[in-house]
Structure 1
Amino acid sequence: MRASPSRRAATSPTPAPATDVGPFPSSSQLPRTVSWKAAVPIAFGGALSVTVSFGAMAGELGNVSMWVWIVTAAVGALQCLLVSDLATRFPGRAGGTAQFAFRAWPRGSATLGALSSWSYWFAWIPAVPVMLILAASYLKATFWPGINTLALAIAMALLLYALNLAGLRRSTQANIVLAIVATVPLIMVLAGPVARPSHFHASNIFPLDLPQGAPNDALGVAALMVKWAFIAACSSYGAELASTLCAEIRDSKRHLPKIMAISALTCLAAYTLIPLALLGIVGAEGLTKEPTTVFLPAAEILLGSAGKNIVAVLLTACLILIAQSAIISSSRTVYQIAQDGYLPRLFAHISRRGVPTGSLACDAVVIAVLLSIFGTSVLDEVASSVVGYLIVFILLPLAYLGLRDHKAAPPRAHHPKAMTALAVALALFNTVLLIWGGIQWGPKVMAVGLAFSLAIIPIAALTRRFAPAAPAIGKADADS
């Protein structure tokens, strides 16, 4: 009897690791089971994570914080142009954005490939506990004041991981439902200034005004904006999340440009309109009073106490969606790292349902470690992960530049000079954010971020030392 596709995927051997000089690492063995529409809610989940740092940022920057969101979202949208090009070339690579950095070095570098993939995974995995802690905070603030926030967050995490073990189809169906539910409070808040203009105060937005105690010199203000742009990047760059499913989408090569364009526009609109609406309704001071539940004050003004409770439930669904998006993207990234031979093969194990169970287990262990280090201090936890995220976005444009005319790369349409300039500018921008912004979050955050990000280098070296030599693989990625 012939084995089913999912059975064949579960038992297929893991390819050997790629070499530094081989053309490209191996393609994914994950089954293509979902339509292109399944990828859009993943990016939408990233767009909703504004709630993580909005209140705290407004406390230090006042209404100037709105421009931090707009600028970083614009940068995130521009990065989608590079991601779209590279993902269309190599649709067989699971994990999306981080999978191309092995060509950031002209002759190819397995070390940079491993560093980018691992850093990307580390960047998104803290989103699971962070978003679930915030979801638990919303429920505690409105319904269960005596509940333990951390215990509730852990219970929700267990339910999400159980859902993911049921297969990608089930997970994406849940994402679609959560995305629909999550749009309701956003529509309520965004429509509030139109439906009830008396509650929207333009004076909260213009003129731009820094809060008392903020720096009064240009360099000090710039440093403060870079500090918060560093944090904002983990949310406003989220449009790229849609690329993580490229190896599991049917006919992904044809659909990827459309997916990335929709995702980029969604995030750009979200990070422009949400700060504008919230600041206009409650002002910077109103946001800082409830920094972890920034939507609730606006909901109470617009809808009253009952409306506030309804919005809290809907926003809980929104935060769970973000956590679910992070689980899907991070698990596929770890799977591809193991496929390429940078991690032991057990992390590339696929269940009969086509789920990368080895990488899901890895996620759960690291989440437990991060919780033990930072507890419910969500901003420090996020800041440590941003170190890894920005490493990815420094290497991504360099990889784009290296692959433009590389003879081993599948051919693409003509690259205008403007795209070259854009790639250089993005690499420089993200380098400034990493160094100047990261330093301002303190040595503990930078130490944890760098330690987790760089840990893959010795791990990959040991894994490859005891693994068989890799065959030269190049065309598989392009033809997948």
Structure 2
Amino acid sequence: MESHEELERGLKNRHVQLISIGGAIGTGLFLGSGKTIQLTGPSILLSYAITGGIIFLIMRALGELMLSNLNYHSFLDFIADYLGKKAAFVTGWTYWFCWIAIAMADLTATGMYVRYWLPNVPQWIPEIIALAILLGLNLVAVGLFGEMEFWFALVKVIAIIALIIVGAVMIFMHFQTSAGPVQISNLWSHGGFFPKGAHGFALSFQMATFAFCGVELVGLIGGETSDPKTVLPKAIDNIPIRIILFYLGSLFVIMTIYPWSSLSADRSPFVQVFSEIGVIAAASIVNLVVLSSAMSACNSAIYSTSRMARSLAQEGSAPRSFAKLTRHRVPGNALVFSTLVIFIAVLLNFFVPSQIFTLISSIATICFIFIWGMITWTHMRYRKTNPELVAKSTFKLHLYPYANYLIFAFLAFVLFVLALAPDTREALIFSPLWFILLLVIYHFKSKSKKPESNEILMDSDIKH
């Protein structure tokens, strides 16, 4: 079924720029970076730089595909064009599942963060309130989604910039902390730059990859901007600067202020740094930041799952009602459906053991690796089958096809690293069951319809 209704192009340049920043800054940076540094040491800087470089290549491929046809509203559209409906079905529902799992985790975290200030309030109450608010704002207009994400991202950006400024002043003044003097040599004078050896350095790629899950959301957002040809390239090309500033900058400052070995794995380094200079409310400030980060992830999940459900409906892979737009030109039925699934998942989280929930979240992360691989593969098909569009393109992935091969090699390496740790190894074993389930569903769905002569579109069938 092909819907002729168009999504509202209500996102402004400032929305997309801040959303693309927010997509590259996860809660893990604020809460989990202490544990990450303890497991890896200063070499985490190098793993983030390498991973960020690969993510940039994936985003260039995504941007080139999105701008090759402005009728594309999500990467599912071009996957259906170049790899066929079966690939689009599996990819679309996998991406939907990725964000549902992220929403499950972050909505639960939202309740926990609110209880930091209101310990007597049951955890489910702030979760329901947060979910209702986010659904309401997403139903009204895409511009309100953009506005919420803009302010959520701004809170995170201000916190990181404040950390970097405070750190720079402490370095310049040779500040004395409880762990000793602040000096750049703290990066290598406590066991070297690779204190955990090759094994520790390899494991850090697992954490670095987790940190960038969701950055491809810019590709979905691009379909709802008023000027995608200008906004999308700018958002993608600024990714390296953001990685250097926000990840490398903040971690560099933290490990310069404190020797990596003296950082607590159970306490946020941000809290430690701000407490050191006498900010009494440091813990509350960081709690506010991680609350905004969790709400941001939940907001993004509601947005992305609804758009993916709509794209699936347009391809005939989901109920037709999901393609219907409200008078505000947002996919209302898809929004409500995704939100209800997220709500059920939160209810189940109270009864399902935490190990199972961790397993589901890990499977979702592995699924993100699958999504990035599909985008890269689709880009290669596009380059091979549409030389005339490639010639006219002003935004390209450089060093094709070697950049594509490099992406595939990196993703394969990360899967290998996931096999090294027991908790992620289980997810790696169970992940194929999700894809088998989708293929079985697609098989029976296809049998109930007129069989298709060829699932993978041939070159002559590619849409221009």
For 2:322 and 2:433, how far apart are their aligned partners in 1?
20
Distance 1:438 1:54, change over 3 A: farther
Amino acid at match of 2:154: I
For 2:103 and 2:290, how far apart are their aligned partners in 1?
15
Write the deviation string for residues 124-175 of structure 1: whole angstroms up to 9, x where unpaired: 332223334444444444x234555565344423322222122211111222
Amino acid at match of 1:281: I
For 1:378 and 1:276, how far apart are their aligned partners in 2?
32
Q: Name the structure 2 match of 1:126.
A: 101
Q: Name the structure 1 match of 2:19.
A: 42
For 1:387 and 1:438, how far apart are their aligned partners in 2?
11
Write the deviation string for residues 175-196 of structure 1: whole angstroms up to 9, x where unpaired: 2222333322222211111223
Q: Name the structure 2 match of 1:11.
A: none
Deviation at 1:447, TM superposition (A): 4.8
Q: Name the structure 2 match of 1:395.
A: 374
Distance 1:442 1:184, change over 3 A: closer
Q: Where in structure 2 are the equivalents of 1:164-203 lying within 5 Å? A: 164-197=138-171, 198=175, 200-203=182-185
Q: Name the structure 2 match of 1:338.
A: 313
Q: Name the structure 1 match of 2:235.
A: 259
Q: Name the structure 2 match of 1:115.
A: 90
Deviation at 1:115, TM superposition (A): 2.1
Distance 1:289 1:443, change over 3 A: closer
Q: Is the 8 A contact 2:385 2:459 kept in 1?
A: no
For 2:320 and 2:458, how far apart are their aligned partners in 1?
18
Distance 1:29 1:154, change over 3 A: same
Superposition CA RMSD, Å: 3.7
Amino acid at match of 1:348: A
Q: Name the structure 2 match of 1:351.
A: 326
Does residue 31 (structure 1) correspond to residue 42 (structure 2)? The answer is: no
Write the deviation string for residues 255-310 of structure 1: whole angstroms up to 9, x where unpaired: 3222221345324432211222233334545654435x453222222342224423
* Aligned pair partner of 2:441 in 431, 456, 459: 459
Deviation at 1:438, TM superposition (A): 4.6
Amino acid at match of 1:157: L
Distance 1:84 1:236, change over 3 A: same
Distance 1:288 1:329, change over 3 A: farther
For 1:209 and 1:125, how far apart are their aligned partners in 2?
41
Q: Name the structure 2 match of 1:74.
A: 53
* Aligned pair partner of 2:256 in 255, 280, 293: 280
Q: Is the 8 A contact 2:302 2:339 kept in 1?
A: no
Q: Is the 8 A contact 1:374 1:381 kept in 2?
A: no
Q: Where in structure 2 are the equivalents of 1:422-461 lying within 5 Å? A: 422-438=403-419, 440=421, 441-442=423-424, 444-461=426-443
For 2:192 and 2:124, how far apart are their aligned partners in 1?
34
Amino acid at match of 1:87: M
Distance 1:389 1:204, change over 3 A: same
Deviation at 1:42, TM superposition (A): 1.9
Amino acid at match of 2:339: A
Q: Is the 8 A contact 1:227 1:438 kept in 2?
A: no
Further displaced range: 446-455 or 344-353: 446-455
Q: Which runs of no fewer than 5 residues in structure 1 stay unpaired?
A: 1-13, 16-25
Write the deviation string for residues 46-104 of structure 1: whole angstroms up to 9, x where unpaired: 222034643332232233333322221221122221111111113322234x5544466
Q: Name the structure 1 match of 2:218.
A: 242
Distance 1:283 1:399, change over 3 A: same
Q: Is the 8 A contact 2:15 2:146 kept in 1?
A: yes
Deviation at 1:229, TM superposition (A): 1.9
Further displaced range: 333-342 or 448-457: 448-457
Q: Is the 8 A contact 1:103 1:109 kept in 2?
A: yes
Does residue 59 (structure 1) correspond to residue 35 (structure 2)? The answer is: no
For 1:365 and 1:408, how far apart are their aligned partners in 2?
44
Q: Name the structure 2 match of 1:326.
A: 301
Amino acid at match of 1:418: L
Q: Is the 8 A contact 2:313 2:319 kept in 1?
A: yes
For 1:379 and 1:277, how far apart are their aligned partners in 2?
30
Deviation at 1:444, TM superposition (A): 3.9
Amino acid at match of 1:330: T
Does residue 290 (structure 1) correspond to residue 266 (structure 2)? The answer is: yes
Q: Where in structure 2 are the equivalents of 1:127-142 lying within 5 Å? A: 127-141=102-116
Distance 1:51 1:365, change over 3 A: farther
Q: Is the 8 A contact 1:63 1:209 kept in 2?
A: no
- Could you say what secondary structure the match of 1:93 adopts? coil
Write the deviation string for residues 414-443 of structure 1: whole angstroms up to 9, x where unpaired: 778722100111012112212442563345
Amino acid at match of 1:246: G
For 1:37 and 1:412, how far apart are their aligned partners in 2?
30
For 1:409 and 1:28, how far apart are their aligned partners in 2?
29
For 2:289 and 2:325, how far apart are their aligned partners in 1?
33
- Could you say what secondary structure the match of 2:105 adopts? helix
Distance 1:52 1:95, change over 3 A: farther
Q: Name the structure 2 match of 1:8.
A: none
Write the deviation string for residues 440-459 of structure 1: whole angstroms up to 9, x where unpaired: 33454235544345533233
Does residue 157 (structure 1) correspond to residue 157 (structure 2)? The answer is: no
Q: Is the 8 A contact 1:228 1:437 kept in 2?
A: no
Q: Is the 8 A contact 1:63 1:283 kept in 2?
A: no
For 1:400 and 1:27, how far apart are their aligned partners in 2?
26
Identical positions, percent: 17
Amino acid at match of 1:421: Y
Q: Name the structure 2 match of 1:23.
A: none
- Could you say what secondary structure the match of 2:328 adopts? coil
Q: Which runs of no fewer than 5 residues in structure 2 stay unpaired?
A: none
